[in-house]
Chains A and B, each alone.
Chain A
Amino acid sequence: MALLEIQNLSKSYPAPVGPDTQVLDVPAFEMDTGSRVAIHGESGSGKTTFLHLVAGILRPDRGTILLEGQDLTQLPESNRDRLRASSIGYVFQTFNLLQGFTCLENVMLGMSFGSGVNESRARELLEKVDLADRLSYRPSQLSVGQQQRVAVARALANKPKLVLADEPTGNLDPKNSRAAIDLIQQLCDEEGSGLMVVSHDLKVVDSFPKQLSWASLNRVISKETRT
Chain B
Amino acid sequence: MKGGALWIAWKSLRQHALSTWIASGSIALAGGLLMAVWALRSQAESTFTEANGGFDAVLGPRGSQLQLVLNSIFHLEASSGTIPMSTATLLQRNPIVRSAIARAIPIAGGDNYKGYRIVGTSLELFEDHEYKEGRKFKIIGNGRLFNEDAKEALVGAFVADKLGLKVGDSFQPYHGLTYIEGAQHADVYKVTGILETTSTPVDRVIWIPIKGIQTMEGHREDLQNDVSAFLIKLRSKKAIAILDPMFNKQGKDYTFSSITPVMSRFFQKFAWFEKILELVAYLVGLVSAGSILAILYNSMNEKRREIAILRSLGARRVTLFSMVVFQSMGIALLGILLSFLFYVLVALIVTGIVRDQTGVALLLFQFDPLFIWVSGSMLTLAIFSGLLPAIIAYKTEVSRNLGPTS
Report A's interface with B, CB cutoff 8 A: 41, 43-45, 47-49, 52, 55, 57-58, 77-78, 81-82, 84-86, 88, 90, 92-94, 96, 98-101, 105, 108-114, 116-117, 119, 154, 166-167, 170, 198-200
In the A-B complex, list the 7 residue pairs whose CB atoms are closest, starting with the nearest.
A85-B314, A100-B15, A112-B3, A113-B314, A48-B405, A117-B3, A96-B309
Q: Does B2 contact A112, Cβ atoms closer than 8 Å?
A: yes
Instruction: Tell me, in angstroms, the Cα distance from A167 to B406 when the chains sit together.
Output: 7
Which residues of A are found within 8 Å of B402, using beta-carbon distances? 52, 57, 92, 96
Q: Does B11 contact A101, Cβ atoms closer than 8 Å?
A: yes
Question: Does B319 sit at the interface, judged by CB under 8 A?
Answer: yes
- Smallest distance from the beta carbon of A200 to chain B beta carbons, Å? 7
Question: Does B264 sit at the interface, judged by CB under 8 A?
Answer: no
Number of A-B residue pairs at CB separation under 8 A: 100
Which residues of A are found within 8 Å of B318, using beta-carbon distances? 78
Instruction: Tell me, in angstroms, the Cα distance from A88 to B313 when the chains sit together.
Output: 8
Q: Does A93 contact B314, Cβ atoms closer than 8 Å?
A: no
Which residues of B are found within 8 Å of A92, using beta-carbon distances? 312, 402-403
Q: Does A112 contact B7, Cβ atoms closer than 8 Å?
A: yes
Which residues of B are found within 8 Å of A166, using beta-carbon distances? 406
In the complex, besides A98-B306, A117-B3, 14 extra interface pairs with C-beta distance below 8 angstroms are A45-B406, A52-B402, A57-B399, A78-B318, A84-B312, A86-B314, A92-B402, A93-B406, A94-B404, A96-B309, A109-B3, A109-B313, A114-B314, A170-B406
Q: Does A81 contact B311, Cβ atoms closer than 8 Å?
A: yes
Closest to A53 in B: B399
Which residues of B are found within 8 Å of A109, using beta-carbon distances? 3, 8, 310, 313
A116: contacting residue among B3, B7, B311, B405, CB under 8 A: B3
Report B's interface with A, CB cutoff 8 A: 2-4, 7-8, 11-12, 14-15, 305-306, 309-319, 398-399, 402-406
20 pairs across A/B with beta carbons < 8 Å? A41-B406, A47-B406, A49-B399, A49-B405, A52-B402, A55-B312, A58-B399, A81-B311, A84-B313, A86-B314, A96-B305, A96-B312, A96-B403, A105-B11, A111-B3, A112-B3, A113-B310, A113-B315, A154-B313, A198-B406
B404: contacting residue among A41, A55, A116, A170, CB under 8 A: A170
B403: contacting residue among A43, A88, A93, A100, CB under 8 A: A93
Q: Does A200 contact B11, Cβ atoms closer than 8 Å?
A: no
Instruction: Tell me, in angstroms, the Cα distance from A88 to B7 when the chains sit together.
Output: 22
Q: Does B312 contact A57, Cβ atoms closer than 8 Å?
A: yes
Q: Does A78 contact B316, Cβ atoms closer than 8 Å?
A: yes
Which residues of A are found within 8 Å of B12, using beta-carbon distances? 100
Q: Does B406 contact A43, Cβ atoms closer than 8 Å?
A: yes
Instruction: Tell me, in angstroms, the Cα distance from A167 to B403 when the chains sit together.
Output: 12
B317: contacting residue among A57, A77, A99, A154, CB under 8 A: A77
Instruction: Tell me, in angstroms, the Cα distance from A153 to B38 when the chains sit together.
Output: 56
Q: Does B406 contact A113, Cβ atoms closer than 8 Å?
A: no
Closest to A155 in B: B313
Q: Does B3 contact A108, Cβ atoms closer than 8 Å?
A: yes
Q: Does A200 contact B406, Cβ atoms closer than 8 Å?
A: yes
Instruction: Tell me, in angstroms, the Cα distance from A200 to B405 when the chains sit together.
Output: 12
A94: contacting residue among B316, B319, B403, CB under 8 A: B403
Which residues of B are found within 8 Å of A114, using beta-carbon distances? 314
Instruction: Tell me, in angstroms, the Cα distance from A49 to B309 when the chains sit together.
Output: 15
- Smallest distance from the beta carbon of B398 to chain A beta carbons, Å? 5
Closest to B403 in A: A94
Contacts A92-B402, A93-B403, A116-B3 given; indicate if A100 touches B11 (C-beta within 8 A). yes
Instruction: Tell me, in angstroms, the Cα distance from A111 to B8 when the chains sit together.
Output: 13
Q: Does B14 contact A100, Cβ atoms closer than 8 Å?
A: yes
Which residues of A are found within 8 Å of B15, using beta-carbon distances? 99-100
Instruction: Tell me, in angstroms, the Cα distance from A217 to B317 when the chains sit together.
Output: 32
- Smallest distance from the beta carbon of A79 to chain B beta carbons, Å? 10
- Smallest distance from the beta carbon of B42 to chain A beta carbons, Å? 44
- Smallest distance from the beta carbon of B237 to chain A beta carbons, Å? 65
Instruction: Tell me, in angstroms, the Cα distance from A101 to B405 when the chains sit together.
Output: 24
Which residues of B are found within 8 Å of A93, using beta-carbon distances? 403-404, 406
Instruction: Tell me, in angstroms, the Cα distance from A112 to B310 when the chains sit together.
Output: 10
Q: Does B399 contact A81, Cβ atoms closer than 8 Å?
A: no
Which residues of A are found within 8 Å of B311, using beta-carbon distances? 57, 81
Q: Does B11 contact A90, Cβ atoms closer than 8 Å?
A: no
Closest to B319 in A: A113
Which residues of A are found within 8 Å of B14, using beta-carbon distances? 100
Closest to A112 in B: B3
Which residues of B are found within 8 Å of A43, using beta-carbon distances? 406
Which residues of B are found within 8 Å of A44, using beta-carbon distances? 405-406
Q: Does A85 contact B11, Cβ atoms closer than 8 Å?
A: no
Chain A CB count within 10 A is highest, among B11, B310, B314, for B314
Q: Does A113 contact B404, Cβ atoms closer than 8 Å?
A: no
Instruction: Tell me, in angstroms, the Cα distance from A93 to B403 when the chains sit together.
Output: 8
Instruction: Tell me, in angstroms, the Cα distance from A57 to B319 when the chains sit together.
Output: 16
Instruction: Tell me, in angstroms, the Cα distance from A49 to B233 when the chains sit together.
Output: 90
Which residues of A are found within 8 Å of B11, using beta-carbon distances? 100-101, 105
- Smallest distance from the beta carbon of B204 to chain A beta carbons, Å? 57
Which residues of B are found within 8 Å of A47, using beta-carbon distances? 405-406
Closest to A87 in B: B314
Instruction: Tell me, in angstroms, the Cα distance from A93 to B406 when the chains sit together.
Output: 9
Which residues of B are found within 8 Å of A119, using beta-carbon distances? 2
- Smallest distance from the beta carbon of B200 to chain A beta carbons, Å? 56
- Smallest distance from the beta carbon of A11 to chain B beta carbons, Å? 10
Which residues of A are found within 8 Å of B399, using beta-carbon distances? 49, 52, 57-58
Instruction: Tell me, in angstroms, the Cα distance from A44 to B404 when the chains sit together.
Output: 9
Instruction: Tell me, in angstroms, the Cα distance from A108 to B14 when the chains sit together.
Output: 18
- Smallest distance from the beta carbon of B270 to chain A beta carbons, Å? 49
- Smallest distance from the beta carbon of B37 to chain A beta carbons, Å? 38
Contacts A57-B398, A99-B15, A200-B406 given; indicate if A110 touches B3 (C-beta within 8 A). no
